[in-house]
């Protein structure tokens, strides 16, 4: 718990001394938990549970399922009103929704403890916005109360209410959002699957603090006992993970790694889906629908736009993603990856041909087949980003992803040989030979990005032409868009110079042919340490900079991400060799320092240089604060994470302003 | 020519106007070239060639083979003495050996041109040392005149004079050293083989300036026409490549890509060896012997030791290499690679077992087989480095180099399946499965170095123990050695901390068991950008720093060296995208800047931090100057390049002093 919440090990625990009261003295005694607003939906009404003839532990442990709070009404008139009055006083005092433990001893109400309540993301938003609207807190405070990563489930697709689903059990929805994954019965197993990227649902009769690491590693949590205030429910809400509790019809057999529900038996590894809002447990994977934003969420995003100073752009691979991003409020495209467009099944053969081409003619021919498809893509993306900047990254294909496996091909050749199918054998042998020539020992650090664009200039030439044609075509329709071209994988300023020349020449040819022009700035993608170190040289040929934090992390650490995450990174994190996964939380000490060096060197040559940033780190708040400090023009997020990015950007701006105000008054 | 010698394209060509004289006026006219000392051996006597009834071009083009200079004696008395007197005057004036073009017009001597003579490495050393001994130049000037890369052939093994060799032809030895390679007939072909690392001998009837790129890419040059002053000979000496010219018995058929000599026919791709000293052309590959240093060379090295301020250490893989290095004058071991020790055929199976181990017990068992071998190695290396520092790098195994190929294994399984050999099939399937788990997408950036040492601490623990045992064993014999331990592939200071703890604990256990101790400092190998950027943190746990320039170049550029050199680097160099191959000439702008950052940050924490440097760049003079400027304690060279390293270090020290003196007087 301390590790996850980053509480230092050397902080002590406070001890409070208070009068002893008993909830188990008789039928008019009991104990309960009350929330001043619903921690599940945020609704403004007293919410909670009560258990007669019980002490506090009985209710928290989730051993007996308690009654809803309103049942108190029938037992003792005035008690509920009393509780409500106290809850309001406490909420106004602490300026936040309260989680109150109370005991009734022979009809008398005693408050044992109050604290800010853990809540679901949905509730958190509603509560923050309403508190601000009620004047209890400011808009800034409301924004600062939202942990961007915890609202991610709200941005995800949820279970289609009209879909055909196979509900096998119903429990209590304790933390909203839907999750699909394979069944695992112990936390270690959950961790193991997490490392391989396999989503898992942790299924337990109840959870204890020893299970936290497994809960962190799971995509969802399902318990057979306990209520919405049990350990599992509280922790799941805190972690922002979907959770269903008290699903008593399910019986777990830990020894055999099975669960039984009615006549059905599921084993570890079977897929289930849980819905943390409705409490449904569903067999298999099921269709999901796009999220719908509440009024409060939209209000919050509106406030975020008011306060943030950085643009929140999106990183997209297709027109569809561009449309989703725009609808999510994206203010531009920070990164449009062109190689991903090629990964679609019906386009792959042409790309493979292009890569296998033995000479410029074969390559140009293969490319020509891709022209109409790429143009359609650009038209679609530009159209949905009307009036906005669209940063298009020139092709950066990881070669090996487009080529057949050598092992499989060798097997096919061997089989053709045994079957004496000479023609097939010879053809495949020729292909294998070519693939072997193209084979790279370390493809992530190989003949990619501008290295490919420089050795085969016809590729970037054609891409530049398509971008220009698409933009001019839309201009004729009076759809205005601001495309920018990014050059990937730069390590030396001469690479930028070379590509700039190729691209400029291609653009000018299109402008001349079309009798019209449009400004298309050409910028540098900084994702290699040497590029940061020599940014002052690169800036001479670049109209803007964009940092790519994924690859920069990889090259600064000399970590091949695929190998690191599968092999030693989990060990490093467990043993605190690394404080955080640097692919998730920006490593400010190393990678951040390289970014700062790059910015300083670039701005020395071009003081007004515009600087943006892309990468997974744009969805981590501490990383976004770093980006704010470094005055990025924009951060670029995944399409569905744009709203989270806006909140993070607003928080970073508010914090920066607070710090500035503090400095000014000091 | 301009490109190789780095002469800018915008420099003009001077025009000299002089009296016209004719060497083709009659039998008492002629033209010749004289050297004030032999450009081939350095011997102090007039040397050259003369051709009657000819103009200068005739002799340079190598179309007719000229007569030796002494034949002039018989033609006209006093002429040779006259030439000798003039040569001495010119040499004393220009303080260097002169290459004089002259013409005799009807018995009268005219000097047409004089310039510093191109010379072989061997001659260069002899001339420089003798000029210094004669008082014409200073020792410093003598040292500065030696291009370290050009003396490399002298450091290489030469043809065993007692070996059984199949001499197929004899030409004129025009540039000393022996070279073995496959026959290629055109410069483009030579370049193509150079890219794949295949040594080649360029065979031409004569060479022209258009062939220079092919000569650069060849390991040796053989021409069938021309003398020791022909284009091929001059350029080869200048490039420091072995060269045989005027080998008239060989007939080339360019069309068929064949050469004929007597009854023998060799085709492109056949292997030959040439000896640039004796002029022999030998069929096939032949035994070579260790170099013997001339008196002048030893004198020069002695002078180098006087002037240089950095230590010249060696990088070794085995006791044998350590012995060679010591005999070459190495002042310590900068880098003892422990993984290379494992690469020997009879050790490989144990290493493969260690890597394939499924758990700590299997791993420890495999390791235990390697203990006696590693101990023998350390004893041998330490013994030959008595009184010196030996920096031992802990294991940094590139996993894939130790594992069987997946493709080959898949084929073997398929064949076993067809042959219905179930047992073999199942065993190999198990092995393949394990290899697939260990497979890395980018092994050069994968689970290597300290990443492996941290996840499997037993490996470094055992290595530390062996080092301590070996050193203490020698201490008992009164053989004192100063071992130091280097931690490879660091990216984060916690890695250094972690390994330091493991190693210190292991060392202390050995000291306690042996009842004796020895100081073994533990240092950081900086070869990853992030390590340089955070060197101030790493310095807290490191007793010294060593920079590894090969891997640092690779990670700073995000270049996988294997892929770069085979794929785009040749294009980059040809098209001047990169000014130099950064794996040969240190990229001071980027990689050098990272090194400077690392040094500054490290010294801020530990002002007296000792800093060394390893990598191929230690044999490039401009890179060595950078190392001098950065006050390296030592540079570490390949065993046979230690003398070249000493000269480069002396030159760098002399230049730095000159610069300092100039600054002081300004």
pLDDT at A412 over 70: yes
Please choose, from the candidates A386, A387, A389, A384, the residue with its C-alpha nearest in 3D space to the C-alpha of residue A325. A384
Q: Is B91 exposed, middle or buried (0-12, 13-18, 19+ CB in 10 A)?
A: buried
Please choose, from the candidates B13, B12, B35, B31, the residue with its C-alpha nearest in 3D space to the C-alpha of residue B22. B31
Mind listing the pLDDT tens digit for each residue in A42-74? 999 998 888 888 887 777 776 677 788 888 877
Query: Rg of the Cα trace of chain B?
Result: 29
Domain boundaries, chain A: 30-119, 157-289, 312-397+448-520, 402-441
Element spanning B30, H or E: strand B30-35
Residue B455 exposure: Cα atoms within 13 Å on the Cβ side? 19
Q: Is B514 exposed, middle or buried (0-12, 13-18, 19+ CB in 10 A)?
A: middle
Of B557, B576, B577, the CB nearest to A530: B557
Structure-token pair, residue B562: 């294997």
DSSP-derived letter for residue A13 is -
What backbone phi and psi angles, to 5 degrees, belong to B642? -55, -45
**Which B-chain residues 576-595 have CB contacts (< 8 A) with chain A?**
576-578, 587, 589-591, 593-594
**B563 in contact with chain A, both atoms CB, cutoff 8 A:** yes
ipTM tops the 0.85 cut? no
Answer for the pair B35, B205: CB distance below 8 angstroms, yes or no: no
User: Could you give the percent of chain A with pLDDT greater than 90?
Assistant: 51
**A399 in contact with chain B, both atoms CB, cutoff 8 A:** no
User: What pLDDT score was predicted for residue B642?
Assistant: 93
User: What pLDDT score was predicted for residue B588?
Assistant: 97
Note whether A30-119 and A312-397+448-520 share their fold.
no
Contact B571 A454 (CB under 8 A): yes
pLDDT at B632 over 70: yes
Answer for the pair B22, B39: CB distance below 8 angstroms, yes or no: no
CATH code given to domain B157-289:
3.50.30.10
Judged by average pLDDT, the poorest of A108-117, A220-229, B509-518 is: A220-229
Mind listing the pLDDT tens digit for each residue in A277-288? 888 899 988 877
User: Which residue(s) pair with A637 in the sheet?
Assistant: A314
End-to-end CA distance of chain A: 36
The band of B565, judged by pLDDT with boundaries at 50, 70 and 90, is confident
Spot the catalytic one: A193, A194, A231, A640. A231
Which has the higher per-residue pLDDT, B207 or A335?
A335
pLDDT at B345 over 70: no
Give the gap in angstroms from C-alpha A445 to the nearest C-alpha of chain B: 5
**B626 in contact with chain A, both atoms CB, cutoff 8 A:** no
Residues of B in Cβ contact (< 8 Å) with A410: 407, 410-411
Residue A310 exposure: Cα atoms within 13 Å on the Cβ side? 36
User: What pLDDT score was predicted for residue B505?
Assistant: 97
Contact A577 B454 (CB under 8 A): yes
Spot the catalytic one: A336, A450, A532, A614. A614
Q: Which fold has domain B310-403+442-649?
A: TIM Barrel (3.20.20)
Q: Which fold has domain B30-119?
A: D-amino Acid Aminotransferase; Chain A, domain 1 (3.30.470)
Mean pLDDT to the nearest integer, A401-419 = 78
The band of A563, judged by pLDDT with boundaries at 50, 70 and 90, is confident
**Which B-chain residues 124-183 have CB contacts (< 8 A) with chain A?**
none
Element spanning A464, H or E: helix A457-476
Mind listing the pLDDT tens digit for each residue in A442-453? 888 999 999 999
pLDDT at A8 over 80: no
**Which B-chain residues 437-456 have CB contacts (< 8 A) with chain A?**
440-447, 451-452, 454-455
Answer for the pair B496, B487: CB distance below 8 angstroms, yes or no: yes
Mind listing the pLDDT tens digit for each residue in A594-625? 999 999 999 999 999 999 999 989 989 999 99
How far is it, in rounded angstroms, from Cα B306 to Cα B108?
48
Length, in residues, of chain B: 666
How far is it, in rounded angstroms, from Cα B351 to Cα A109?
72
User: What pLDDT score was predicted for residue A197?
Assistant: 67
User: What pLDDT score was predicted for residue B400?
Assistant: 66
User: Measured in whole angstroms, how far is the alpha carbon of residue B471 from the centre of its chain?
Assistant: 31
DSSP-derived letter for residue B313 is E
Give CATH superfamily name and number for A312-397+448-520.
Phosphoenolpyruvate-binding domains (3.20.20.60)
Judged by average pLDDT, the poorest of A191-195, A335-339, B12-16, B400-404 is: B400-404
Residues of B in Cβ contact (< 8 Å) with A567: 440, 446-447, 451, 455
User: Which residue(s) pair with B273 in the sheet?
Assistant: B180, B282
Mind listing the pLDDT tens digit for each residue in A500-530? 999 999 999 999 999 999 999 999 999 999 9
**Which B-chain residues 410-429 have CB contacts (< 8 A) with chain A?**
410-411, 414-415, 418
How far is it, in rounded angstroms, from Cα B89 to Cα B336?
52
- Output the CA torsion B584→B449→B500→B343 (10° steps): -90
Q: In what order do the strands lie in the sheet with A30-35?
A: A67-68, A47-52, A30-35, A98-105, A108-116
Longest distance between any two alpha carbons in chain B, whole Å = 93
User: What pLDDT score was predicted for residue A198?
Assistant: 80
Structure-token pair, residue A565: 């995450």
User: Which residue(s) pair with A110 in the sheet?
Assistant: A103
How far is it, in rounded angstroms, from Cα B374 to Cα A495?
46
Q: Where are the alpha helices (DSSP H) in B419-478?
A: 422-438, 449-455, 457-476
Answer for the pair A482, A468: CB distance below 8 angstroms, yes or no: no
**A36 in contact with chain B, both atoms CB, cutoff 8 A:** no
Give the mutation candidate from A496, A538, A558, A578 for the B interface (greatest B CB count, under 10 A). A558
The band of A188, judged by pLDDT with boundaries at 50, 70 and 90, is confident
Residue of B nearest to A400 (CA): B441
Answer for the pair B171, B278: CB distance below 8 angstroms, yes or no: no
Mean pLDDT to the nearest integer, A339-358 = 73
Which has the higher per-residue pLDDT, A138 or B190?
A138
- Crossing angle of helices B295-307 and B121-133, in 10° steps, is 70
Per the listing, tokens 């640039």 go with B276
Mean pLDDT to the nearest integer, A337-347 = 71
User: Could you give the percent of chain B with pLDDT greater than 90?
Assistant: 51
Residue A421 CB partners (closer than 8 Å, separation 6+): none
Residue of B nearest to A415 (CA): B414
Give the gap in angstroms from C-alpha B512 to the nearest C-alpha of chain A: 28
The size of the A-B interface in CB pairs under 8 A is 194
Question: Cα–Cα distances in Å, from B592 out to A76, A424, A534, B636?
Answer: 80, 52, 11, 17
Q: Clarify whether A492 is annotated catalytic.
A: no
């Amino acid at each position: 718990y301390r590790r996850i919440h980053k509480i230092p090990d050397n902080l002590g625990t406070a001890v409070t001394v208070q009068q002893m009261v008993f909830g188990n003295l008789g039928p008019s005694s009991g104990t309960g938990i009350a929330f001043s607003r619903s921690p599940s939906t945020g609704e403004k009404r007293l919410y909670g549970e009560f258990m007669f003839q019980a002490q506090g532990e009985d209710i928290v442990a989730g051993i007996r399922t308690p009654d809803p709070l309103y049942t108190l009404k029938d037992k003792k008139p005035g008690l509920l009103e009393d509780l409500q009055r106290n809850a309001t006083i406490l909420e106004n005092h602490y300026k936040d929704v309260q989680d109150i433990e109370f005991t009734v001893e022979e009809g008398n109400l005693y408050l044992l403890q109050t604290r800010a309540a853990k809540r679901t993301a949905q509730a958190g938003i509603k509560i923050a916005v309403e508190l601000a609207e009620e004047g209890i807190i400011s808009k800034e405070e409301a924004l600062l109360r939202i942990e961007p990563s915890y609202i991610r489930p709200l941005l995800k697709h949820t279970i289609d209410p009209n879909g055909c689903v196979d509900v096998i059990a119903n429990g209590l929805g304790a933390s909203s959002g839907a999750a699909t994954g394979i069944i695992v019965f112990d936390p270690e197993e959950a961790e193991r699957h997490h490392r391989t990227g396999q989503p898992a649902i942790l299924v337990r009769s109840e959870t204890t603090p020893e299970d936290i690491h497994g809960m962190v590693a799971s995509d969802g949590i399902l318990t057979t006992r306990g209520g919405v205030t049990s350990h599992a429910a509280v922790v799941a809400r805190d972690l922002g993970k979907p959770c269903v509790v008290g699903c008593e019809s399910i019986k777990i057999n830990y020894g055999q790694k099975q669960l039984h529900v009615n006549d059905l038996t599921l084993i570890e590894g079977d897929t289930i889906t849980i819905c943390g809002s409705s409490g449904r447990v569903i067999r298999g994977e099921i269709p999901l629908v796009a999220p719908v934003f509440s009024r409060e969420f939209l209000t919050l995003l509106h406030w975020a736009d008011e306060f943030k100073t950085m643009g929140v752009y999106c990183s997209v691979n297709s027109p569809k993603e561009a449309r989703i991003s725009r609808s999510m409020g994206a203010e531009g495209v920070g990164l449009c990856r062109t190689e991903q467009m090629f990964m679609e099944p019906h386009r792959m053969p042409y790309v493979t041909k292009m890569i296998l081409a033995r000479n410029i003619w074969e390559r140009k021919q293969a490319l020509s087949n891709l022209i109409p498809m790429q143009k359609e893509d650009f038209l679609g993306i530009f159209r949905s980003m009307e009036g906005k900047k669209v940063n298009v990254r020139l092709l950066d294909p990881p070669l090996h992803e487009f080529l057949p496996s050598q092992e499989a091909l060798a097997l096919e050749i061997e089989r053709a040989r045994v079957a004496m199918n000479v023609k097939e054998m010879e053809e495949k042998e020729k292909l294998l030979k070519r693939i072997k020539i193209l084979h790279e020992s370390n493809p992530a650090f190989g003949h990619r990005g501008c290295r490919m664009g420089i050795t085969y200039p016809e590729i970037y030439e054609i891409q530049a032409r398509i971008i220009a044609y698409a933009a001019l075509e839309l201009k004729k329709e009076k759809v205005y868009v601001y495309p920018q071209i990014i050059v990937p994988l730069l390590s030396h300023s001469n690479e930028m110079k070379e590509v700039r020349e190729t691209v400029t020449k291609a653009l000018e040819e299109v402008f001349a042919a079309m009798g019209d022009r449009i400004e298309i700035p050409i910028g540098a993608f900084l994702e290699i340490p040497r590029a940061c170190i020599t940014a002052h040289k690169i800036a001479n040929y670049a109209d803007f900079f964009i940092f790519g934090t994924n690859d920069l992390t990889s090259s600064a650490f000399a970590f091949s991400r695929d190998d690191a995450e599968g092999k030693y990174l989990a060990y490093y994190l467990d043993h605190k060799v690394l404080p955080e996964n640097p692919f998730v939380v920006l490593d400010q000490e190393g990678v951040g320092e390289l970014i700062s060096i790059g910015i300083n060197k670039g701005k020395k040559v071009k003081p007004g240089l515009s600087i943006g940033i892309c990468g997974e780190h744009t969805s981590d708040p501490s990383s976004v604060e770093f980006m704010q400090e470094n005055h990025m023009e924009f951060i670029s997020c995944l399409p569905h994470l744009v709203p989270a990015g806006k909140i993070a950007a607003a928080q970073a701006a508010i914090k920066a302003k607070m710090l500035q105000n503090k400095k000014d008054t000091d």
